[in-house]
Structure 1
Amino acid sequence: MEMFQLKVTAIREVAAGIHEYTLSDPEGGDLPAFTPGAHIHVAVPSGGTRQYSLLNDPAERSAYRIAIKLEAEGKGGSTSFIAATAAGDSVEVSAPVNDFELRGDGERIVLIAGGIGITPILSMAQYLLRTAAKPFEMIYLTREPGQTAYLDEVVNGPLAPHVTLHHDMGDPANSLDLAALLAEQNGAVLYCCGPTGLLHAVRAASQHWERGSVRFEDFGTTPAAPAEDEDGFQVRLEGGDQSYWVPEDKSILDVLNEAGLDMPSSCESGTCGTCRMRLVEGEADHRDLVLFDDEMDDSIIICCSRAKSREITIGFPA
C-alpha cells in the first residue's frame, strides 16, 4: 500500500476520550479527492496501520479530518497514536479508500450512527446537506452527552433539523425502538455505522426492507463472538482435492490467502459482501451482516463466518 506524509495541523478533544486530528499537506496543497464514507489507513506508533473514516465534507480538499477513540482494551493503535502524536508532527497515511460509499439510489437517505461510528455518517450528512442530493435524516445513538462526539455541531449547527439524538444512559431499557423507526421503508436507503451490537439490531429491525437497501460499516467496538470451533475446522474448495485447516485465530479468508489463492475481499468485517462464496457442503456459523436468512443455506462470507461442522466445502459464485 502506497503511503505519503501529512502534517497534523490541529488536534481537539470532541468528547471524552475522542480526539479529532486535522491532517494537511505540508506544502499547503489540495489532498487527493474522496467520497462520503471513505477512510484512510494511518500508520500508528505501535506498529502497522489502522483505518479511520474521513469525517469532513468531501468538498474540503485542504485537509483530512479523522477522530480517534481511545480504546484502553484495544490492540494499542489508538492509545499509541493519541499519546505520541502532537500538532506539527508528520503522519503517514494512504490515499482514501471507500468500502461504505454513499450511492445515488433510493428516494431518501436514513443515516444511523452509534458512538464513534458518527465519523463516516457525518461526512455523508454534510455532503447531503450541501448538495441537497436527497432528503435525509440522521439518527445518532450514544451512551450519554459527555461521550457524544460533535454534540454541539449536530444539535446547534446546520444539520440540527435533520438529526434525532438519543442517549440510553447505559440502560438497555432506554434503547431507541428501532423496529418502530424502521417499520416502513418508504423508498429509503439506510446507512449504519457503529458497534457490532447496533449493526445487528438495525439488521434485525430492517429484515423486511428491500435487499441492498441497508448498508453497514462496522467499527469493531463490540468484541467478536467466541469461536464455537475451538479446535478449528477444514475448508475445501469445490472441485479441488486439497483441504485447508482453519484454526480458531484465523478466518477462512486468511487461510486461503496464505495458501496463495488470492481471494477477493474488501472490508474484512462482514459488511460489504465482496468475499461471498457459495456454501456447497457443511454447516456454516454465519457472523456477517450481508446475507438474508434465505441465503444462509447456500452462501457464506469468508472474512468472518466460520463452520459448525468439522468440514465445509465452498465454491466461487456462479
Structure 2
Amino acid sequence: MDPIKMRIARKRSLTEQIAEFALVPVDGTSLPSFTPGAHVTVRTPSGAMRRYSLVGGTEDPKEYVIAVKREAESRGGSASMHDEANEGTEIEVEPPENDFPLTEANEYLLIAGGIGVTPIYAMAQELERQNKRFNIIYCTRNKDETAYLDEMTEAFGDRLLIHHDDGDPDKVYDFWDHFAEPQTTHVFCCGPQPLMEEIKAISGHWPEGRVHFEDFKPVEVVRADDEAFEVELSKSGASLTVPADRSILEALRDAGHETVSSCESGTCGTCKTKLIEGEVDHRDMVLMDHEKPDHIMICVSRAKSGKLVLDL
C-alpha cells in the first residue's frame, strides 16, 4: 500500500523527553485498522524513516496515536519529530504492520520499560475490552519519566505495578519470582535492550512461544569504533564522505541525494543497492549470502576498509 498523507492534529508532552502525536488523514479517508502491538513507519521531518508503536483504539480508527522519545544520540529522526513536527505539520505514514501481535491465552503478563510502554499500553486496553486476565509491570527511572502514568493507573488499578530504579543498577526490578516456575501465562515485553536480555535469560526454561518481544533496534547502525569512509556514486561520478556517526543512506540524504528507504534498521530490504566495488561490513538481516558480494543495504552497512563504489 502507498504511504498515507497525514496531519498532526494534536501534540502534547507526556514527559520532558516524550511527546505524543495524534495523526489524522489529510484527505479524510478511512484509515486501515490494526491490532494491538502494531506499529507505523513515519517519514520524519528530517527525512529519516522511523517506526513507532500505535497507542489507542484499533478498530475503525479515526486517528493514529504515537509517542516519540527524544533519543539522546538521535541521528535525526526523534529530534526532528520533537523540534519540527507540530500541530498542522503534514507527514507520510506507512500503513500499520504488526510483528508483535497478541496471542490467545488465559492470562497475560505485560512488561514495559521506558518508551516500550506504547505497545504494552495498547495491549492492556485491548485485553481490558476482552475482559481477559492480565497484569502489567512498568519499569522506568523515575516518576517524571513515566509516560501515561496517570492514565494507566486509573484504567488498570492494582493490576499495574510501577517500579522506579532511579538509575541505580542495584534497584532494578527483580523479575525472577514471575519466571521461576513455567506458567501458562503469555508474556509480552518491550523496552530497552538490557531489560529484554534479562527476560530472555530468566525465561529460557519456559516452553517455546510463551514469551514474546518487540525490538525496533535489531541492528546497531552506528558503533563506537566506526570510522569515516568514502563512497563513490558510479552513475554521477560524485563522491561523498560517510562520517563515523552516520549511515551511507543518511550521508546521501544529508548531501541532497534522493533516497528510498523504509525501516532504516536493516530488516526490510527497501534500500538494497548494487555494489560495484569495495569490501562491505554487512550489518543487515536481509541479504542472502549469494547477494553479499555485489549488494549492500545502505541503511546499516559500511565499508570494512577503503572506498565503496555504488550503482547510484
Q: Which amino acid aligns with 1:162?
A: R
Q: In 2, distance between residues paired with 1:23 and 1:81?
A: 13
Q: In 2, distance between residues paired with 1:94 and 1:260?
A: 31
State the SS of the aligned residue for 2:207: coil
**Are 2:135 and 1:129 aligned?**
no
- Deviation track 1:116-146 (CA, whole Å, cap 9, x = no partner) reads 00000110000001121x3111110101111
**Are 2:283 and 1:250 aligned?**
yes
Match in the other structure for 1:169: 166
- Deviation track 1:187-210 (CA, whole Å, cap 9, x = no partner) reads 101110011110000111111111
Deviation at 1:247, TM superposition (A): 4.2
State the SS of the aligned residue for 2:213: strand
Match in the other structure for 2:180: 183
Q: Which amino acid aligns with 1:183?
A: A
Q: In 2, distance between residues paired with 1:227 and 1:21?
A: 32
Match in the other structure for 1:46: 46
Q: Which amino acid aligns with 1:128?
A: L
State the SS of the aligned residue for 1:15: coil
Q: How does 1:298-317 map to 2 (within 5 A)?
A: none
Q: Which amino acid aligns with 1:68?
A: V
Q: Which amino acid aligns with 1:69?
A: K
Relative to structure 1, the CA distance from residue 223 to residue 260 in structure 2 (aligned partners, 3 Å threshold; closer, same or farther) is: closer
Match in the other structure for 1:73: 73
Q: How does 1:206-285 map to 2 (within 5 A)?
A: 206-220=203-217, 247-248=280-281, 250-251=283-284, 253-254=286-287, 256=289, 259=292
Q: In 1, distance between residues paired with 2:204 and 2:184?
A: 15
Match in the other structure for 2:95: 95
Deviation at 1:55, TM superposition (A): 1.2
Percentage of matched positions with identical amino acids: 39
Match in the other structure for 1:14: 14
Q: Which amino acid aligns with 1:193?
A: C
Q: How does 1:113-124 map to 2 (within 5 A)?
A: 113-124=112-123
Deviation at 1:254, TM superposition (A): 4.1
Name the stretch that deviates more: 70-79 or 216-225: 216-225
TM-score computed with the length of structure 1 as normaliser: 0.70
Q: In 2, distance between residues paired with 1:89 and 1:195?
A: 29
Unaligned ranges ≥5, structure 2: 228-277, 302-312
Q: In 1, distance between residues paired with 2:68 and 2:148?
A: 13
Is the Cα–Cα contact under 8 Å of residues 195 and 221 in structure 1 kept in the other structure? Answer: no
TM-score computed with the length of structure 2 as normaliser: 0.71
Is the Cα–Cα contact under 8 Å of residues 116 and 192 in structure 2 kept in the other structure? Answer: yes
Unaligned ranges ≥5, structure 1: 231-244, 263-302, 305-318
Relative to structure 1, the CA distance from residue 222 to residue 113 in structure 2 (aligned partners, 3 Å threshold; closer, same or farther) is: farther
Q: Which amino acid aligns with 1:42?
A: V
Q: Which amino acid aligns with 1:143?
A: R
- Deviation track 1:126-174 (CA, whole Å, cap 9, x = no partner) reads 0001121x3111110101111111111122x122232111000111111
Q: How does 1:195-210 map to 2 (within 5 A)?
A: 195-210=192-207
Q: In 2, distance between residues paired with 1:107 and 1:208?
A: 20
Is the Cα–Cα contact under 8 Å of residues 13 and 19 in structure 1 kept in the other structure? Answer: yes
Relative to structure 1, the CA distance from residue 4 to residue 251 in structure 2 (aligned partners, 3 Å threshold; closer, same or farther) is: closer
Is the Cα–Cα contact under 8 Å of residues 8 and 86 in structure 2 kept in the other structure? Answer: yes
Relative to structure 1, the CA distance from residue 150 to residue 58 in structure 2 (aligned partners, 3 Å threshold; closer, same or farther) is: same
Is the Cα–Cα contact under 8 Å of residues 19 and 68 in structure 1 kept in the other structure? Answer: yes
Relative to structure 1, the CA distance from residue 259 to residue 223 in structure 2 (aligned partners, 3 Å threshold; closer, same or farther) is: closer
Deviation at 1:25, TM superposition (A): 2.2
Q: In 1, distance between residues paired with 2:130 and 2:186?
A: 17
Is the Cα–Cα contact under 8 Å of residues 11 and 22 in structure 1 kept in the other structure? Answer: yes
Deviation at 1:51, TM superposition (A): 0.5
Deviation at 1:246, TM superposition (A): 8.2
Relative to structure 1, the CA distance from residue 111 to residue 258 in structure 2 (aligned partners, 3 Å threshold; closer, same or farther) is: same
Q: Which amino acid aligns with 1:23?
A: L
Is the Cα–Cα contact under 8 Å of residues 196 and 222 in structure 1 kept in the other structure? Answer: no
Relative to structure 1, the CA distance from residue 200 to residue 250 in structure 2 (aligned partners, 3 Å threshold; closer, same or farther) is: same
Q: How many residues align?
A: 246
Q: Which amino acid aligns with 1:253?
A: V
Deviation at 1:92, TM superposition (A): 0.6
Q: In 1, distance between residues paired with 2:179 and 2:201?
A: 10
Q: In 1, distance between residues paired with 2:221 and 2:207?
A: 27
